[in-house]
Chains A and B, each alone.
Chain A
Amino acid sequence: MGLITLTIVLPLAGALLLSVSRYGEIGSKIIALATSLLTFAASLALLASFNLADGSLQLVEQMAWIPAIGASISLAVDGVSLALILLTTFLTPLILLASWDTVGDRVKGYLIAFLTLEAAVLGVFAATDLLLFYVFFEFSLVPMYLIIGIWGGAQRRYAAIKFFLYTLAGGLVMLVAILYLYAQAGTFDYETIRQLSLGATEQRWLFAAFVVAFAVKVPLFPVHTWLPDAHTEAPTGGSVFLAGVLLKMGTFGLIRYALPIFPDATVEAAPWLIAISVVGILYGAIVALMQSDIKRLIAYSSVSHMGFVVLGTFALNATATSASVVQMVNHGLSTGALFLLIGFLYERRHTRQIAAFGGLAKQVPVMAGLWLVVALSSLALPGLNGFVGEFPILLGTFQVSPTAAVLAAFGAVLAALYLLWPYQRMFHGPLEGADNQNTTDLKLREIGVMVPLVALIVIIGLYPKPLYDLVNPSIDRVLVEIEDAR
């Protein structure tokens, strides 16, 4: 079994083992955590055998699947997918550890759902067969639907259905486009389909179909409204995974499929997508400002931040597009960390209303300190990870559209507002009220979950070079067709 297959099969095997075993709660948790750690180790081994200088898809693994229709289980990685695979396998054990004793009932089911979800997402990032990609892409919906719908908050059913319908609708449009491509190429193989020469009209329609599916996932304004509901209702682990990894399936899809397969349509549509991204950046930030629920606020901040990622993607130059990929990782770390902290606070207080908190920095200094670092990373303070992605995105965008870059840069002011304002209301001011005075600081386990995240936030902020070295060659290759199309 190849390393990529192993990375995907490991969590699946863990899920299978859990579903047939009769271990108790603790045993199940240990198995799940061990599985996710093994998966992380496997992905590190993958990184070790990856050739950094080569930007094409590497470490190809191929197995027969449905030979009659030319669909196979083909897996391979480039720098972009590897970066996201590492993000996924890094976050999963932390998520499991964070929800160690807070899931409540049906723990085993929760763990199974999470490991299955991890496998599906890894499949999305590694598949090089369009049908296989589609199957993984849609299949990831099911465990996430269950996680929100079973372990979520009061409005979980509404949120879960909304999430499901929204993304399913997007996916179906893409399926039609995939089938059309299949009809042209006679295979679902990615590289073959990439070589297809498609007419201008064909490209436009197919590109639109792919972009709709991915835009819902990202989510891009104006198809973002499932996200605040899904985030607010999802359990902490679900929110972290959603923001950390699931959203990246959309931006990953754009870079892997929409750009190289439809280069002419991409060049044609880029100004529109840049415009939509800028609107989303400012709009998400402004709406975030008015939220009274801290989790909803961060959900809207995701709309704004993911707008930066799409902006950089469609700037279509090596600087901005590479930085987009780095920013996907950064957003996963920062927003994931924020959702973890919100979860820790929620477990203590059973409310997410900003107005319910006040003066907490005196009472819970560790949580307050970590919260501030993560918030600063999210508002792109230089020295932390958010900046090393956001700045090159804007710099690269400026080369193609100065107006877009300048407008998007105001997102930085708004980010400071919507992050520091609630921070002040929750953590500063006098410590009043019994609830605030009795809030306890983070436990060792919770600090243990945060430390790796905060460490990466600082390390990437000061030394993002390894990440860029991983991503740069692959983006150069993605942009080859785009250069020809110009």
Chain B
Amino acid sequence: MTTVLLAAEAAAVNEVVRATAGATNAAWLIPVIPVIGFVLVLLTSRMLRERSAVIAIAAAAATFVLAAAVAWQVISDPASYLRALPVWINAGEFEVTFTLLIDQLTAVMLLIVTGVGLLVHIYSVGYMHGDDRYARFFAYLNLFLASMLILVLGSNLLTLFLGWELVGLSSYLLIGFWFEKTEYATAAKKAFITNRVGDVSFMVAMFFAFATFGTLDMLGILDGAANLSSSAAFILTALLLGGAVAKSAQIPLYVWLPDAMAGPTPVSALIHAATMVTAGVYLMVRMSPVVVGSLDAMTLIAWIGALTALMAALIAVRQDDIKKILAYSTVSQLGFMFIGVGVGAFREGIFHLVTHAFFKGLLFLAAGSVMHAMANRTDIWQMGGLRKLMPITFYTSMVGWLAIAGVPPFAGFFSKDQILTEAYMHGFGAIWAIGLFAAVLTAFYMSRWFFLVFLGEARHPADAHPHESPRSMTVPLVILGVLSVFGGLALNPVHHGPLYNFLGPAVGDTAALGLTPAGPMSEPMLIAIAILAAAVGIGLAYFAYLRRDISIGRLSEPLRGRGAELLERKFFVDELYEAIFVTFGGRLARTAAWFDTRVIDGIVDGVGAVAISTGRVSRRAQTGLVRNYVAVVVAGALVVLAVVLARVV
């Protein structure tokens, strides 16, 4: 292992290798297998019913094995592998192929997507048991897996975009999985349309990239990035960011993600926490050689990330739904990853993406386990005392809580701390401070979540009979729990650890920017402050929810008044958007529709009325039309004749 890492350090830039042998040569199967699974499950669902899950799980498992083999080849022989595949679109001078690009970044994403994906497939066997559309659920999971793998494997922006849109479709189908409930169907549509707004930005980014580089191939763009003017780098980064803020739920397009919790909980874990929503982070890191071309663009990204992390954490403090809290927490943690991208800590951002996939996937699956046990109740004020009744869910949740709160040596501590340290060391002092405050809030609201669900007195209604979930659900919990404990230590326990070095050749270099620290503090001091932040957050929650009498439920919240209401109502952002887009947009559309029938068509009808009344004069209004037409044709023929004669004579 050490020799491998030394080799990676030596080669700052990857060599480009055509994949003709080994696992990377077979990598085209990675997205194809789940597509086959998707089709097979759909076709056999009537015959096999719940047994068709086996097909989907087999497809996910095969994909995971293949992905692991591909990752191993990249680890043992680091390079940018290109697996040539046929042309997709060849319109005039524009050509893109399905060719795959596999490097260190791809390898990490492949393992996360297929690994967490497989666990969620298994978990769903128990969770979705008895659902009317059980088989269809598994088909959609396979479709999602295929789409996400296209996204991370695409060698050009357009194939990445293909996966980007197909994960959006999977997300739409799965948020609206129980479409009989109007509000769920509405949430699905909201997710799709909000993402479409981001897509416009992404598409314009591609137009701009093609106009600038003459290609959409990543390697072509990243090679050309070195010669890009800083204004061009700013425009391209900002346009890509427009797409990323929609998919990764950042300000101002985060509004769809909390509503997306309408989907079945395994979907929330896989798509709306561990994988799809991190696609924006992946995109920005993939394009990091362009991003480093403009310090202004980086600052913009960092501020968006910091403000999102802060705002979502504030909202999470006063949510009462077991999944909504986790949803805002996801928005907030994605904000941390964007801070990473913005301050040039690309590898730390990916590290946090990885650990977040472990602990947030875990927390969502644990929430699902709780809901499963509580007959789908989601109000944390109706829980409490589940510790004894659901021991496995309790212990794994505890691990997830400690990890996200940033307690060492759990996984989240390392990755979050390294992002904040890097923000400070790269001179983003304000961003560091905001991030630190958001980290205190994170520790606070996640402790509140954990305490109210599992500790204290049982507050659930008499008709609920909580019980531990079946094995298919607890095994994925335990695996993710282990990863949440050791994931950070194993991957990157010190700042320039194994993962950091491994990813080096795949990301942009900030050395040329000449960034300097924001102040005199050293890394150990920053680490101490981060640990203190976690302790403060947990301590506050301890006094607020464990040491006080909370038997009167929601009314025992320590914070009250206008400020608390503002948090509960999520800063009224949904209401604001509704006012702008639905009210104003509706008025615009109604006016346009009125204009079309009354004004434009009115003119036409006026002209038409004259023509028809001319026909009525000769009392041939109905049949007269065709006759008039014949007359016109004859007249036309006469004109032709006249012209001919004029030429001949």
Contacts and interface: CB of A to CB of B under 8 A. Distances in A.
B65 interface: no
A275 interface: no
A279 to B, nearest CB: 11
Interface stretch (B15-23, B111-119, B180-188, B496-504): B180-188
A392 B592 contact: no
Nearest to B169: A381
A179 B636 CA distance: 10
Interface stretch (A107-115, A261-269, A314-322, A341-349): A314-322
B649 interface: no
A182 interface: yes
Classify chain A: how many residues form its interface, as a range.
35 or more
B592 A286 contact: yes
Interface stretch (B159-167, B276-284, B506-514): B159-167
B601 A395 contact: no
A6 to B, nearest CB: 27
Nearest to A388: B89
B643 interface: yes
Nearest to B596: A287
A402 B612 CA distance: 45
Interface string B637-649: 0011101101100
Contact of A409 (B88, B204, B588, B592): B204
A391 B89 contact: yes
Interface in A385-403: 387-388, 391-392, 394-396, 398-399, 402
Given A168-B632, A424-B189, A161 B182 contact: no
A420 B192 contact: yes
Contacts of B543: none
A157 B615 CA distance: 15
Contacts of B158: 382, 391
Interface stretch (A26-34, A41-49, A191-199, A468-476): A468-476
Contacts of B176: 428
Contacts of A463: 86, 88
A256 interface: no
B179 A416 contact: no
B613 to A, nearest CB: 12
A131 interface: yes
Interface string B131-170: 0000000000000000000000000001001101110010
B572 interface: no
A162 B604 contact: yes
Given A168-B632, A321-B92, A413-B200, A361 B179 contact: yes
B204 A405 contact: yes
Contacts of A416: 192-193, 196
A424 B640 CA distance: 56
A81 B625 CA distance: 31
B28 interface: no
A78 B149 CA distance: 40
Contact of A472 (B90, B161, B588, B640): B90
A424 B593 CA distance: 21
Contacts of A142: 626, 629
Interface stretch (B207-215, B293-301, B450-458, B474-482): B207-215
Given A287-B592, A359-B180, A462 B88 contact: yes
A468 B626 contact: no
Where chain A touches its partner, the secondary structure class is: helix
B89 A225 contact: no
Contacts of A402: 207, 211
A409 B92 contact: no
Interface string A356-370: 000101100000000
B308 to A, nearest CB: 22
A161 B89 contact: no
A2 interface: no
Contacts of A166: 604
A308 interface: no
A431 interface: yes
Interface string B89-122: 1111110000000000000000000000000000
B92 A182 contact: no
A164 B647 contact: no
A193 to B, nearest CB: 14
A451 interface: no
Contact of B640 (A69, A165, A406, A465): A69
A387 B193 CA distance: 16
Contacts of A392: 89, 91-92, 94
A429 B185 CA distance: 7
Interface in A149-165: 157, 161-162, 164-165
A209 interface: no
Interface in B552-587: none
A225 B604 contact: yes
B203 A186 contact: no
Nearest to A292: B593
A476 B179 CA distance: 48
Interface string B202-246: 011011101100000000000000000000000000000000000
Nearest to B168: A381
B640 A287 contact: no
B417 interface: no
Contact of A161 (B206, B592, B601, B625): B625
Interface in A180-209: 182-183, 186
Contacts of A396: 91-92, 94
A131 B192 contact: no
Given A320-B92, A421-B189, A428-B176, A286 B197 contact: no
A172 interface: yes
Contacts of B644: 68-69
Contacts of A441: none
Nearest to A359: B180
Contacts of B592: 283, 286-287, 290
A160 B641 CA distance: 31
A399 B89 contact: no
B643 A179 contact: yes
B211 A161 contact: no
B375 interface: no
A413 B206 CA distance: 17
A323 interface: yes
A125 interface: no
Closest 9 CB pairs of A and B: A318-B92, A319-B92, A428-B185, A392-B91, A398-B207, A290-B593, A225-B601, A428-B179, A429-B182
Given A382-B165, A392-B91, A469-B90, 6 more contacts: A142-B629, A183-B646, A289-B593, A424-B186, A430-B180, A464-B88
Interface of B: 86-94, 158, 161-162, 164-166, 169, 176, 179-182, 185-186, 188-189, 192-193, 196-197, 199-200, 203-204, 206-208, 210-211, 588-590, 592-593, 596, 600-601, 604, 608, 611-612, 622, 625-626, 629, 632-633, 636, 639-641, 643-644, 646-647
16 contacts: A141-B629, A145-B625, A157-B622, A161-B612, A165-B611, A172-B632, A283-B592, A283-B596, A289-B593, A381-B166, A383-B162, A395-B94, A409-B200, A424-B188, A428-B180, A431-B180
